């Protein structure tokens, strides 16, 4: 029992001492990522999903189409997974002010919070992820970094009870 307790403490400490990166750390960097501008229109994406050990478990391509009305971004996403699964999601993302956003989607629990500074956009949310016929609540720490006017790179860490369960890496290319 003592060994199990020690192992659990070690896992928790490892996970708690993780990433201290904050969106504001990027405030003076360029190019500026204004998410409603970048995701308006057609954007193509390709990505990989890795398990907690780093093994690539799935790959996908995606088509995104966004419409900005001056206050809200409606973003339609279609994911084509390499195993044949097709997933869709419709985000409604509201701009609160220059740096803050809130978003909802049918499979998002509550409200997603977004933060934009310089080339970085951080999105925090809980997603209902289908796993073996059930829906599991997975927390996403999702970062997008604009590289230039056409390219952005996304890195998301997925956790359950504060423990990393997977990572997602996505490459975006705007038409």
| Residues in contact with 110: Cβ distance below 8 Å, sequence separation at least 6, in sequence order | 125, 126
In the structure encoding, which two tokens stand for residue 172, read together? 């975006």
Give tens-digit pLDDT for 120-164: 999 999 999 988 889 999 999 999 999 999 999 999 999 999 999
Pick from 87, 67, 65: which is nearest to 168 by CA?
Answer: 87
% of the chain beyond a pLDDT of 70: 89
Banded model confidence at residue 19, pLDDT cuts 50, 70, 90: low
**pTM of the model as a whole:** 0.87
Q: What residue ranges define each of the domains in the chain, with the CATH number in brackets?
A: 22-174 (2.40.128.20)
Comparing CA positions, the residue from 30, 39, 19, 24 lying closest to residue 115 is 24
Q: Residues 44-58: pLDDT tens digits?
A: 999 999 999 999 999
């Amino acid at each position: 029992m003592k060994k199990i307790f020690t192992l659990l403490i070690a896992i928790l400490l490892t996970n708690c001492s993780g990433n201290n990166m904050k969106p504001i750390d990027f405030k003076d960097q360029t190019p500026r990522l204004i998410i409603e501008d970048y995701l308006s229109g057609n954007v193509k994406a390709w990505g990989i999903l890795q398990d907690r050990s780093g093994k690539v478990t799935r790959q996908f391509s995606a088509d995104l189409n966004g419409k900005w009305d001056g206050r809200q971004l409606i973003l339609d996403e279609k994911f084509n997974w390499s195993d044949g699964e097709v997933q869709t999601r419709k985000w409604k993302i509201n701009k609160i002010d220059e740096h803050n956003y809130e978003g909802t989607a049918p499979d998002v629990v509550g409200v997603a919070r977004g933060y934009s500074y310089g080339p970085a956009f951080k999105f925090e949310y809980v997603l209902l992820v289908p796993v073996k016929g059930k829906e599991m609540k997975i927390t996403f720490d999702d970062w997008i970094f604009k590289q230039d006017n056409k390219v952005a790179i996304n890195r998301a860490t997925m956790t359950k009870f504060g423990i990393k369960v997977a990572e997602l890496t996505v490459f975006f290319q705007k038409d």
